[in-house]
Amino acid sequence: MLTISTQSRCFIAVAALLGATAVMFGAYASHGLSAWADPEQVSQVKLASQYQLLHALALLMTAILSSFYVSRLLTLSLYCFSIGTLCFSGSLYYWVFFASKLLVLITPLGGLLLIIAWLSIALAMLFSQRK
């Protein structure tokens, strides 16, 4: 029987919340946002929601994978996916919904964290021990 750690369960919950909100933002971008936003803003929300949904799924799979492998790299990946998604997508949402580029420098940081998350999984699979 597989035992899922508390950490994995928490990240599965975060992935589910990120997935749900990604669908909500994507639906709003497709059906209501154009009533007040310009096409570039709609495009930014669609991009943010697509990245958020993709990385919510990646976070979910990584959390499940971490139940099978002992690896600090997988733990790093869990945090990088979570924080990276919030930084990348969150800064784009902030730009559109609050008409402020205050967080514009956080977008590339989010992208970098997402890249680190993916590379951490690759390294973990090459060098980790199975539980």
Instruction: Indicate the pLDDT class of residue 76, thresholds 50, 70 and 90.
Output: very high
**Structural domain that includes position 78:** 6-125
- Cα–Cα dist 76/124, whole Å: 10
| pLDDT for position 131 | 73
Average predicted confidence (pLDDT) for the chain: 95
Average pLDDT over residues 64-78: 94
Q: Would 70 be classed as within a structural domain?
A: yes
Q: Would 59 be classed as within a structural domain?
A: yes
Instruction: Say if strands 129-130 and 69-70 run parallel, antiparallel, or are unpaired.
Output: antiparallel
Average pLDDT over residues 50-62: 98
What pTM value is reported for the model?
0.95
Instruction: Indicate the pLDDT class of residue 2, thresholds 50, 70 and 90.
Output: confident
Q: How many domains in the chain?
A: 1
Instruction: Indicate the pLDDT class of residue 34, thresholds 50, 70 and 90.
Output: very high
Give counts: helices (H), strands (E), the chain: 4, 2
Q: Would 1 be classed as within a structural domain?
A: no
Q: Would 130 be classed as within a structural domain?
A: no
